[in-house]
Amino acid sequence: MDLPVPCTVALSFDQVHDIAGGDLPDMAALLKPFGDQPLLCVRPSSEDPDWGGPGAVMNVGMNDALYVDLCDRIGADAASAVYMRFVQGYAINVARLDPDMFDGLTLQGSEGLRQVLSAYEAETDEAFPQDPVVQLSGVLQSMARAWEGTTARLLRQAKGAPADAGLGLVVQAMALGLGAGECGSGVIQLVSSQTGMPMVTGRYRSQSQGRDALQKEGTSIYLAKDPRGPSLEELAPAAFAQLIDYTAMMRVRLREEMQTEFTIENGKVHVLDGVRIRRSPRAAVRIAVALAEDGIIPKEEAILRVEPRALTEMLHRQVDPDAPREVIARGIAASPGAASGKIVFSSAAAQAAASRDERCVLIRRETSPEDIRGMHVAVAVLTERGGITSHAAVIGRGLGLPCVVGASDISLNLRRNTVTMADGRVLREGDEITVDGTSGVVLLGAPPLLESARDDAFQALMTWADDFRDIGVRANADTPADAQIARNFDAQGIGLCRTEHMFFDAGRLTVMREMIFAAEPADRRAALEQLLPMQRADFVELFRIMEGHPVCIRLLDPPLHEFLPSDKEGIRSLADALDLPVSDVAHRIEELGEHNPMLGLRGVRLGITMPEIYDMQARAIFEAVLEAGGGVVPEIMIPLVSARREVELVKTRIEAVAAAVRTASGRKFDYRLGVMVETPRAALRAGEIAPHAAFLSFGTNDLTQMTYGLSRDDAGRFMRTYVQQGVFPEDPFHILDYDGVGELLQIGAKRGRDARKDLVLSICGEHGGNPESIEFCRRAGFDYVSCSPFRVPVARLAAAQLAVRERLNSAN
């Protein structure tokens, strides 16, 4: 590229791997290009700089002879500083001596150098090695071994690196950055790592080496002219202009936004390194879009360059700045976003909460790899200890999970499951708090949250993704708020609206309970009459928000006793409301109790035994269609089907309701009736069910539960042991079990389609938003996936990547 790079020799991933194992390359040959008195720098060059790795080691080759020479060139003080720095770095990183050994050695210049060399000698009983071969061998080995060490490997794996990720090393002649004329070093990049917006970013420091300019203390200056202080642009305008050109050229030639590490030696620019710039997810999107818009990479590649899961982070929520707030702890803002949930103190408790569909905040002293499972299901994490690179922070960012670490003013009592806040207030498991990982504060309760902003680059990338994507993406949305988020993220409809959540409002719950308590169908119908207008209003609102996009409404699913009170106080107030003796109410509640409610009277079984409930819901849906207008075609979904006859019975009644509404209103409307496949039998018998259903939607939560015979409410208790011991590779409630549950999906899809060519297939369990599940469903010929609203962009991008990759593979 005709860049002014000092003489450089690169060592490949394989060579570095061999070096870590003790097999050094031919050192004489390696050193030959650098002359008799080499002064070198060794730089890491890993597959992905975001995965971390050892820092560069400078001034390798520094010895007594070169010191004399350097004293002439740059003066004794600067030469001593260079030598001292190398001896210290070598002692700590190569000879593995205790860094404390240099504490208290305060002398500078040649005196200081003598002191440091004697300290080294005293500690090792050897003189500091003078031979460049010995020095370089030691440096290469220490860097290679640091990369292959367990801690480094685990850290980068947490960032998504494969187990065998490679490290290259680059041996380069030092461009000193010290001496006469304008000398110094710095780094430059042309966009912001935070936002990806054009902005000359970096620092320069005269008479410095490596990345010194980036350190806070000292005399670094700005690069471009800046009202806050002096700049390289003013100090050395020609060098500044060259650096801009080189960095811009690298962007075009390397097809990537680069950071240039440079040295200026007596006014002359040396480019030492070009590294793919670090970037936040927001910046990653903007950089990829800008590269495509500038014609440097095709749009397909821009789509592939953004990690779908990273979008979650840029789409994070914030605490409404205008809302009242009660700060109860402060710490380090480790991973952005805000979330509210109930406190849990262990991963097991987090998993148990998640299986009850409860949002939880995991509080730990600090986290370790054992906590990853709990973090996966928590909505936020708070730790007492740790910094910005602690385990909790790294993993939290990776997962896009709001996270505050190092909140040292809180105090955990893990025996009692309590946490004492700075003001002495004690919170218990189950208390609600909000973690704001953007500002590093913890708030009491659940203040209103603002949805994230979406910028133009995000919109552009999403539009391109939609052009390539060949599987639909809908959202699971139960409330108008969810539906609005889904629309904002361009979901192509609602794939699952769970109607039970609509009955938990205070005003409705009592009527719902009256309905449940009704002894006769007529009484039940009377209670349902009251629920009808409320339910109709719910649907009108959803239809209006979704503006003609399909809305798939699931008929009532949970066992009825879930709506009943379980404590004395609740039973007493229900007895009041129903004007019944407490003992009658308690008795009825007991009657409704089941040994195995998830396998009991729920889903379509309710629809068969108490058909008035589904009649009311169907009527509410149809009347809402007429009220909302605009050609809405609702989809009605029957849950927990296991037999064809269930579908026939429900279908007949729904057809009757539709006919009645059409006659009463004198207006026409269409609807589609479908079946939720969430029992293994429904998947196996899809061939006989499909003729009665316009669509099949696989509910992989229940299907996983029933395929494994594994309670989704209780699995958290032993899931960790199971995964640790390799019984399951992953928690199947999080990552779809392709082998077992997946086979049922394939069987259901094939038998269903064989029986009915135009059958629409989808997935609406929690797995629907996982890029891996999307791949599976796409291959099985599904029409769409449905996932929680915030995962819609992730799913859209993941789906586009699959289509692009397939196209690229078939072109090769």
Assess 30 for contact with ligand PEP (CB under 6 A).
no
- Closest distance between ligand PEP and the C-beta of residue 598, in Å? 9
**Part in contact with Mg ion (CB under 5 A); list of ranges 281-289, 675-683, 708-716, 774-782:** 675-683
- In the list 702, 731, 737, 766, the residue contacting Mg ion (rule: CB under 5 A) is 702
Q: Compare residues 700 and 773 and give the one whose CB is closer to ligand PEP.
A: 700
Select the binding partner of residue 496 from Mg ion, ligand PEP, none (C-beta < 5 to 8 A, by kind).
ligand PEP
Closest to 341 (Cα-Cα) out of 322, 365, 323, 317: 317
Select the binding partner of residue 700 from Mg ion, ligand PEP, none (C-beta < 5 to 8 A, by kind).
ligand PEP
**One-letter identity of residue 756:** R
Query: How far apart are the C-alpha atoms of 712 and 706, rounded to whole Å?
Result: 9
Q: In sequence order, what are the beta bridge partners of 9?
A: 171
- Closest distance between ligand PEP and the C-beta of residue 85, in Å? 60
- In the list 514, 702, 731, 775, the residue contacting ligand PEP (rule: CB under 6 A) is 702
**Part in contact with ligand PEP (CB under 6 A); list of ranges 215-223, 479-487, 697-705, 740-748:** 697-705
Degrees, nearest 5: CA angle 259-47-373: 110
Under rule CB under 6 A, which residues in 543-562 are in contact with ligand PEP?
Answer: 557
**One-letter identity of residue 91:** A
- Closest distance between Mg ion and the C-beta of residue 677, in Å? 10
Site string for Mg ion, 705-744 (x = CB under 5 A): ----------------------------------------
**Part in contact with Mg ion (CB under 5 A); list of ranges 268-276, 626-634, 671-679, 777-785:** 671-679
Catalytic residue among 360, 552, 764, 777: 764
- In the list 210, 440, 680, 699, the residue contacting ligand PEP (rule: CB under 6 A) is 699
Catalytic residue among 270, 376, 391, 692: 391
Query: Would you say 428 is a known binding-site residue?
Result: no
Q: 300 CB contacts (<8 Å, ≥6 apart)?
A: 468, 804, 807, 808
- In the list 178, 188, 392, 764, the residue contacting ligand PEP (rule: CB under 6 A) is 764
Q: In sequence order, what are the beta bridge partners of 405?
A: 332
- Closest distance between Mg ion and the C-beta of residue 271, in Å? 59
Under rule CB under 6 A, which residues in 430-459 are in contact with ligand PEP?
Answer: none
Query: Would you say 702 is a known binding-site residue?
Result: yes
Size of the site for Mg ion (CB under 5 A): 3
Is-contact 379 340, C-beta < 8 A? yes
Query: Would you say 153 is a known binding-site residue?
Result: no
- Closest distance between Mg ion and the C-beta of residue 719, in Å? 19
**Within 13 Å, how many C-alpha atoms sit on residue 234's CB side?**
8
Query: Would you say 700 is a known binding-site residue?
Result: yes
Q: 179 CB contacts (<8 Å, ≥6 apart)?
A: 73, 74, 78, 265, 266
Q: Compare residues 371 and 557 and give the one whose CB is closer to ligand PEP.
A: 557
Q: Compare residues 44 and 732 and give the one whose CB is closer to ligand PEP.
A: 732
End-to-end CA gap in the chain? 28
Is-contact 210 44, C-beta < 8 A? no
**Both structure tokens of 218:** 């000292």
Query: How far apart are the C-alpha atoms of 721 and 712, rounded to whole Å?
Result: 16
Closest to 379 (Cα-Cα) out of 417, 413, 353: 353
Q: Compare residues 281 and 748 and give the one whose CB is closer to ligand PEP.
A: 748
Size of the site for ligand PEP (CB under 6 A): 10
Assess 765 for contact with ligand PEP (CB under 6 A).
yes
DSSP secondary structure string, 356-418?
TT--EEEEESS--GGGHHHHHH-SEEEESS--TTSHHHHHHHHHT--EEE--TT-EEETTTTE
Q: Compare residues 226 and 357 and give the one whose CB is closer to ligand PEP.
A: 357
Give the residue at shortest CB distance from ligand PEP.
699
Query: Would you say 389 is a known binding-site residue?
Result: no
Assess 479 for contact with ligand PEP (CB under 6 A).
no
- In the list 225, 359, 498, 805, the residue contacting ligand PEP (rule: CB under 6 A) is 498
Is-contact 398 404, C-beta < 8 A? no
Q: Compare residues 451 and 783 and give the one whose CB is closer to ligand PEP.
A: 783
Q: Compare residues 19 and 676 and give the one whose CB is closer to ligand PEP.
A: 676
Q: Compare residues 142 and 700 and give the one whose CB is closer to ligand PEP.
A: 700
Give the residue at shortest CB distance from Mg ion.
702
Select the binding partner of residue 384 from Mg ion, ligand PEP, none (C-beta < 5 to 8 A, by kind).
none
- In the list 165, 236, 290, 496, the residue contacting ligand PEP (rule: CB under 6 A) is 496
Collapsing DSSP to helix, strand or coil, 20 comes out as: helix
**Part in contact with Mg ion (CB under 5 A); list of ranges 232-240, 289-297, 677-685, 750-758:** 677-685
Query: How far apart are the C-alpha atoms of 317 and 337, rounded to whole Å?
Result: 5
777 is catalytic: no
391 is catalytic: yes
Degrees, nearest 5: CA angle 606-611-615: 120
The sign of the CA dihedral 737, 738, 740, 746 is positive
Query: How far apart are the C-alpha atoms of 407 and 385, rounded to whole Å?
Result: 6
For 179, other C-beta atoms within 10 Å of its C-beta total: 16
Residue 800: alpha-carbon gap to chain centroid: 18
Residue 66: alpha-carbon gap to chain centroid: 51
Residue written as token pair 């209006």: 544
Query: Would you say 150 is a known binding-site residue?
Result: no
**Both structure tokens of 757:** 């060519």
**Part in contact with Mg ion (CB under 5 A); list of ranges 56-64, 254-262, 435-443, 674-682:** 674-682
Q: In sequence order, what are the beta bridge partners of 473?
A: 785
Query: Which residues in 784-811 are b (16+ Cβ under 10 Å) and which e?
Result: bbbbbbbbbbbbbbbbbbbbbeeeeeee
Q: E-assigned strands of 34-183?
A: 40-46, 57-60, 167-173
- Closest distance between Mg ion and the C-beta of residue 618, in Å? 20
Under rule CB under 6 A, which residues in 631-690 are in contact with ligand PEP?
Answer: 678
Q: Name the site residues for ligand PEP (rule: CB under 6 A).
A: 496, 498, 557, 678, 699-702, 764-765
Q: Name the site residues for Mg ion (rule: CB under 5 A).
A: 678, 699, 702
Residues annotated catalytic, as ranges = 391, 764
